[in-house]
A and B are shown apart, each in its own frame.
Chain A
Amino acid sequence: MWQEYIFPENIEEAVSILNSSKGTARIIAGGTDLMLDLKAGRHEVLKLVDLSKIKELGKIIEENGMIKIGANVTCSQIVNSDLIQRKALALAQGARKLGSKQIRNMATIAGNVVRAQPAADTAVPLAALGAKLEIVSADGTRTMDILDAYGDSLAKSNINSTSEVLTFLYVPVQEAREGSAYVRLDKRKALALPILNIACKVSLLGDTIKGASIAMGPVGPGPQRAVDAENKLTGNTISQDSIKTAAQLVINQCDPRDSAVRGSRKYRMAVINTLAERTITQAVACAKA
């Protein structure tokens, strides 16, 4: 499946290898999705470029109001991080649901984003939390909003792992009177992709919701923001009624497929507002705590 496996010492070396290999070298993160993709023939590759020797990519640190998460950080590290639990709770909750413990011990959240599945357990919370991505290529360094990492079709990433490296994810810290939550509807508690997943972040001002962001999957090519529901919540007094009313609007931004295995379009459209209501309620509870 590949001929060479390389561990660059730093990001510049990684980018240089990708650049000179002209599409035949690809980044491997945890490998839990990539190994299956290579076996299925989704990519052809001569070289795999493994970033695990680059120590700065293995850290979770708080810096200037942001949580800076390196490309090598695994789901397990996210789950166990006190910082993430306190200041980006939805991300810890999402990471905890990904795959199984064995998968979480290898899988990275960077890889989860780049693999671009619409209901990815860490990408949906990252979208609700307003995450930004730092991408390095031979052309330099750029920053993008996580939603811009998704193309127009299913599992199409705008990040090209044969020419560029997602080095860091930046997540705004949850300040006082802010909260987040992640809710997942699934057929099993482990080793199961979600039927639906939703993440929500809220900021409170007294008894009103100052701001809300809600991301959902799989209801479109990438995580979808429920902008109508968000607008309905903003400026309103917190009450179960106002939450319920806003939650009804999430379907406006939903366009789910029919899945033979994980729920029909009709079913998903019928239940998503209940899930949204639960997620918003939990996010508010987290903010008040």
Chain B
Amino acid sequence: MTITVNFRLNGEAVEVSCVPDKMLVDLIRDNLELTGTKIGCREGECGACTVIMNGEAVNSCLIPVAKVMGKEIQTIEGVVDKDKLHPIQEAFIDKGAVQCGFCIPGVIMSAKALLDKNKTPDKDELREAISGNICRCTGYVKIEDAINQASSVMSETIVKGGGDER
């Protein structure tokens, strides 16, 4: 049996057919060959697979593909605007928030989901937004600094990327 799913991915309409019990993370990585989204645990316990679905950060490892029908999905590949890095990405580089890099796509998607809704989060809101993303390298301090820097930049400029304009 196959299932056919129609949805929007990084701003474009997509149609994919696959087995009915596939998870979104495997659809993204295997069928669509977008390997920026990582698999850390397949249990919803690490956040490495975080993508944005209809504006909300979700663990793609736990989402059956059927749930994606008609939805808007953003992955890390959609955060860049053509060849221009998003302020969040610039900030992560600028602040040295990336070490091994494995958690980073998931962290950036959680951060983006937050900042797209709330450009000026307070400390608690910021920490809550990334508390579902585990990082073994950085100790989170520079990640927090980067998100705060991105917040300043995004509050002052218009930003494109990830499939919608704001």
Contact = CB atoms under 8 A, between A and B. Distances in A.
A and B associate in one complex: yes
Interface of A: 1-5, 7, 28, 31-32, 35-36, 39, 48, 50, 52, 76, 99-103, 105-106, 189-191
Interface stretch (B31-39, B78-86, B124-132): B124-132
A35 B64 CA distance: 8
Contact of B44 (A2, A48, A76, A103): A103
Given A5-B66, A31-B63, A105 B20 contact: no
Given A32-B59, A191-B131, A102 B47 contact: yes
Contacts of B56: 76, 105
A48 B110 contact: no
A3 B1 contact: yes
Contacts of A76: 56
Contacts, number: 77
Interface in B115-166: 128-129, 131-132, 134
Contacts of B23: 35
Nearest to B69: A7
Task: Tell me which of B1, B45, B66 has the highest count of chain A C-beta atoms within 10 A of its own C-beta.
Answer: B66
A122 to B, nearest CB: 17
A227 B19 CA distance: 51
Contacts of A101: 57, 110, 128-129, 131-132
Contact of B62 (A1, A106, A189): A106
B90 interface: no
Contact of A4 (B1, B43, B53, B128): B1
B3 interface: yes
Contacts of A50: 66-67
Contacts of A99: 44, 132
Given A5-B3, A101-B129, A31 B62 contact: yes
A256 to B, nearest CB: 24
Contacts of B47: 100, 102
Contacts of B42: 39
A99 B129 CA distance: 12
Contacts of A103: 44, 59, 62, 132
Contacts of B62: 31-32, 35-36, 103, 106
Interface in B22-76: 23, 42-45, 47, 50, 53, 56-59, 62-64, 66-67
B21 interface: yes
A102 B57 contact: yes
Contacts of A100: 44, 47, 59, 131-132
A5 B20 CA distance: 7
A31 B20 CA distance: 15
B21 A2 contact: yes
A106 B66 contact: no
Given A2-B21, A36-B43, A102-B47, A52 B67 contact: yes
A3 B20 contact: yes
14 contacts: A2-B21, A5-B3, A5-B20, A31-B62, A32-B62, A35-B62, A76-B56, A100-B44, A101-B128, A102-B47, A103-B44, A103-B132, A106-B62, A191-B131
A19 B132 CA distance: 38
Nearest to B56: A105
Task: Tell me which of B42, B44, B47, B67 has the highest count of chain A C-beta atoms within 10 A of its own C-beta.
Answer: B44
A7 B59 CA distance: 21
A39 B61 CA distance: 12
A112 to B, nearest CB: 14
B6 to A, nearest CB: 13
A105 B21 contact: no
Contacts of B129: 101
B59 to A, nearest CB: 4
A76 B58 CA distance: 11
Contacts of B3: 5
Nearest to B54: A105
Given A3-B21, A28-B64, A101-B128, 16 more contacts: A2-B21, A4-B20, A5-B20, A31-B63, A31-B64, A32-B62, A35-B23, A36-B43, A48-B64, A50-B66, A50-B67, A99-B44, A100-B59, A101-B132, A103-B59, A106-B62
